[in-house]
Structure 1
Amino acid sequence: MVYCTKCGFENADSSKFCITCGNKLDVNISRPNPQNDFQNNPEPMDYNPNNQGYEEHHFNSNQQYNETNYNNNNNSFEQGMNDVGNYINDLGNKTQDSILNYRKNKEEKHARKIQDKNALYYLNGREAELFAYEDYLEFDFTEDYFKKITSRWGGVKKIYYHQINSIQKRDAGSLANGSLEFEVQGNVRGKQQRIGNFNENLVHYYKKYEAEATALYEFVNQKIIESHKGVTQAQVVKTEDGPLDKLKKSKELLDMGAISPDEYEMIKEKLLKEI
């Protein structure tokens, strides 16, 4: 049998041309071994599906192709996962560095701000920064977006100590933030001093600022006591009877017969000198 190298058909030994495709035949070329051909040429080229050995060659070729493709895909998947892992690690490192830099810059900014304001006490609260001076307490809402919302878009508010009725402090715990709340004259608790869901006279703080909050609380509380004590004394002096009031009461005692006319004249003469 003479094998056709073009279509793979096996012709009779006496044939000079392929009866299927017309290709000139070479009697010296024999049919190749499918196993050897598969090893040398994994992809089927000139095999005819009707010829013997094609199915075996086609199956082996596809099997090798699938195994190669699987290995390539598996390697690509592992490489992709490694790339994703490296990207996540880099992103995490960059995020951590950004957070550390942000905190560092914020602490430096706070330090400069305290130095510039020359306050006696300072607390970095969530809703506002508190600066305590000798005569008043300052609420600074300009630090960030949250503080601006709390105070209707920023600004600085001053409250003198005699305007504060009381101050309440809740210590920070392991799960809850601490707070300082100021009851200010002229504000109705829960109504006028609240803006949305915020109370601009209520400041929360993180546990790491507990020492600063305690120091500011003790200072402000003492200032409130001193200012109220001065107001109370002034009110007491103001409510004492004056000379005319005393003279009026002396006349009433005279009319009642509790004192003599001579005693009344002595009191009258003394009180008239005080007017």
Structure 2
Amino acid sequence: MVATVSIEDRGFTLGDGVFDTALALNGTVFARARHLDRLMAAGEAIGIAAERARIEKAIDAALKPAPTILRTTLTRGSAARGLWPTSTGTPTVVVTTTPWSPALLGQPARLVTASGRRNEFSPTANLKTLGYLDHILAAREAASAGVDDALILNTQGRVACTTIANLFVLIAGRLITPSLGEGCLPGIMRALVIEAAPALGLAVEERPLSPAALIGADAVFLTNSVRFIRPVRSVNGALLARDGAVDALMEALAAQVARECGVPLAPT
């Protein structure tokens, strides 16, 4: 599929938009309503009034039987110059697809702490906006260090997220993840893990988390909608433990995928 976007589109010129990334298996988007709810809420938060039915139609047109990563981009559309436009046209909606492989599941990650900070006070801290340059530069730091991802701290020096994922630590049967007030995104997989944990005997806490808490934890893992759960092997060279509870969480998520999409998450 080829899409043409105007050179005056504010997503292109100013990063004025939001996006969502989801996994589709067997022609079904996993946790589809959650993804759409978050995208619509993010658009509304920055003043983009898009029709949900239009976005649904664009997603349906992009679906295919093969395992696919869908990225749905929503921008304010075209407008005259100026930061806040007096008027805009129809919002731009673009859905792109990329093949997905189950090989992405379970790959351990090595992290390095990024030099930049995530501003938890920003009005866009909890929105998946198009302005990703801070995380791009953090990813460059990770690549330069020869590791897989970068741990990003907030302005108080506490854990916020990584460049592409939410973060959890397991300590003595308690699953701890930074609260949204710490500057992380309201990840779909983050929410699903929080919901699945109690049935596995894991208490959940959303609270501030210091980088030191990662060292000595029973397990540290990352979550996003493409890789689901990714165990963290090391942070800044320090090796981390891995607990079987992480595998149990992954099994619970895989069972949910099978129920919604009608196929196993990965070949058995």
User: Is the helix fraction higher in 1 or 2?
Assistant: 1
Q: If you compute each CA radius of gyration, which structure gives the higher value, 1 or 2?
A: 1
- TM-score of the superposed pair, with normalisation by structure 2: 0.20
- TM-score of the superposed pair, with normalisation by structure 1: 0.20
User: Is the strand fraction higher in 1 or 2?
Assistant: 2
Tell which has more relative contact order, 1 or 2 (C-alpha 8 A, sep 6+).
2
